[in-house]
Chains A and B, each alone.
Chain A
């Protein structure tokens, strides 16, 4: 899911990565909306708010929103820097997993802070929103970068547009039979569904287990990180066993 890069990725790889990361992004966005009254997985609205605050000459709030946007930007930039430069230092899988590790740390920190230290002051709220925006920037930068921009999971504006275009293409037979168009449509549709599922799931879960919901998000992210390790170790184990079996059979003959 994380190991492969750019054109080496299959549709199945993109589908797994897209759905799981969209699920976690949906969860984070709804949690931040419930707790902080602010979106954290997309910045389109924040650009509009920035313009509004500048027009109203609310300079402090404009600076807060600017810093939020910057942190989303910084997260995406760090992700891509790690992917393009980290390969030679950490290896491909680890350099692709580091943004998810950093994202998990940000979300885990938010969960722990909310549970034990949060006094609901505005300063803390602004800082925690900033941290979640950084986490979402990291995730979005990673998924977009390793999938050649075909997987973007934290915001649905572009995705809804692409889905609408894809659906309109389905009205023409030549496109309808094109496996690439069909695969893209399927990918976009599942990302949208999983984002919604994550959002509903965390909304329901929050009223039951409160801040522990952040730990569930961390579990989803850990699954994404460890999936390739698990798959590789299983493959190695299966290959190792079959190799030993062949060797055993040959020695018996």
Chain B
């Protein structure tokens, strides 16, 4: 019985620690808030040509995949608590876009409230200065479009 009690106690400790980390921790939502600049959009599909492996896809395929992707159209993003602003030439445009995180914080869902279209992206990497997402277009091309963002930190030194 003592052994069982010890197991239960250890389990309780483990669960409490995990709960405290989740409640007190800085979640993915807070990590995402800020201005992000698109660094690149890569197509990761691997093509076989003869005996060679080429990681380049045809222009027509590229156009078809990235056609109408919200993320492809815009270079600067500002994630705030409620919505998503698009920054073009330092002028902030409110495109009526909203963002949500789903799953365990690994799915970024962007909704265009004008057209009611919803796009979801799988977050591959999210650090203080880098965000890498894969576009979830449909099952056949999932994971092909890789979009990398760099965080634009405010330059306080310049301001002073």
Contacts and interface: CB of A to CB of B under 8 A. Distances in A.
Contact of B25 (A37, A59, A125): A59
A60 interface: yes
Given A61-B28, A61-B106, A125 B101 contact: yes
A63 B15 CA distance: 9
A36 B102 contact: yes
A224 B29 CA distance: 40
Interface in B67-113: 100-107
A121 B29 contact: yes
Please tell me the size bucket of the interface on B.
20 to 34
Given A59-B21, A67-B15, A120 B104 contact: no
Interface string B6-34: 00000100110111011001111100000
Contact of A64 (B29, B100, B104, B120): B104
A66 interface: yes
B83 to A, nearest CB: 13
B27 A125 contact: no
A63 B29 contact: no
A11 interface: no
A206 interface: no
A38 B26 CA distance: 21
Could you tell me the dominant secondary structure of chain B's interface residues? Answer: mixed
B27 A123 contact: yes
A37 B107 contact: yes
A37 B103 contact: yes
Nearest to A71: B15
A122 interface: yes
Nearest to A39: B103
Interface string B106-135: 110000000000001000000000000000
A125 B102 contact: yes
Contacts of A13: none
B122 to A, nearest CB: 9
Contacts of A122: 27-29, 100-102, 105
A162 interface: no
A64 B102 contact: no
A70 B15 contact: yes
A126 interface: yes
A42 B106 CA distance: 18
Nearest to A60: B25
Interface in B22-57: 22, 25-29
A49 to B, nearest CB: 7
B21 A63 contact: yes
A76 to B, nearest CB: 14
A27 interface: no
Given A59-B25, A60-B27, A38 B18 contact: no
Nearest to A65: B104
Contacts of A67: 15, 18-19, 22
Contacts of A65: 104
Contacts of B102: 36-38, 120, 122, 125
A50 to B, nearest CB: 10
Interface in A38-66: 38, 49, 59-61, 63-66
B111 to A, nearest CB: 9
Nearest to A73: B11
B36 to A, nearest CB: 18
Interface in A140-192: none
10 contacts: A60-B26, A61-B104, A61-B106, A64-B105, A67-B19, A68-B104, A70-B15, A122-B101, A129-B103, A129-B104
Interface pairs A-B: 3 shortest CB-CB: A60-B25, A63-B18, A37-B103
